[in-house]
Structure 1
Amino acid sequence: MTDWMIWFAVACVLVVLEMATGTFYLLMIAIGTAAGGLAALGGMGVPEQCLIAAAVAALATFALRRSKFGRPDHTDAASDPNVNLDIGQALEVAEWQQINANSYTARVMYRGALWDVALAEGESPLPGKFIIREVQGSRLIVRNSDATAHAQ
């Protein structure tokens, strides 16, 4: 088996492994090994093939990392409506209990169960309709709905 065949066989194996994992990093290394195979087809020696494969793989990995596909999404699951479907839902609070100077809690019936509710900072502790802004464990953090905020 010649050098270029080995390079392309390794590239094919890496592409198959990439399909199994779903990260694009193995694909970038496969591109590097394919470049090593092209260098072998061009008649370069083994050290040059390895240097080209490593350089292309490193550049492809760097380019992937700088793209939108390589950056992890740093959203907070507690306040992301795509993760938690309770975010943005409305509920009624009849009465607030003051904990300290600017901290209020309540117990409300939501989805057939009693939940602890905390008022988000800077919101008005008036009875009425509230929107869930965040879920912290079994506690709902709510903000005033437009109707409650205007009732002041």
Structure 2
Amino acid sequence: MDDSVSQYSFIVRLHDTDAAGRLFFGHLFRHAQDAFESFMAHLGWPIPDLIQRGEWLLPVIHAEADYQRPIHHGELIWVEVGVEEIRRRSFALAYWFRKEDGTETAQARTVHILMSAVGEKDLALPEALRLALARHLKDAAVGVSCARAHPDAQS
């Protein structure tokens, strides 16, 4: 892991799995959200504080994932989070899901836009947040295969 990536881990619980004992595909996004919240706290922008202040929202406007290998009940999974792109009002995060031995199991991508909590208008990212995100910016050649620009996040 390089300095531009943040890590989060979880153990696959029974309630995370489908009838075959594998991680239910939709639950990957729940774990991506947990990794996102951990990442934002690591940056010094904890989500609970943003919510409590009631000024800003960071909703997901796009999410996608690719699955390479099954993830099974009881496995420890590491999630690496890196910043893929920073725009004026939005940013994209990449997530790499790996088993303990480093085997990549899935990749995901989310695009978040900054909005005012009142009136829900798009806002420019604060410079302090841009700088915090920029410290974790990944080389564009390294990232998730599913990464594509989302038309709603062009600015």
**What TM-score comes out, normalization by structure 1 length?**
0.24
Larger Rg: 1
User: Greater helix percent: which structure?
Assistant: 1
Bigger proportion of residues as strand: 2
Higher relative contact order (CA 8 A, sep 6+): 2
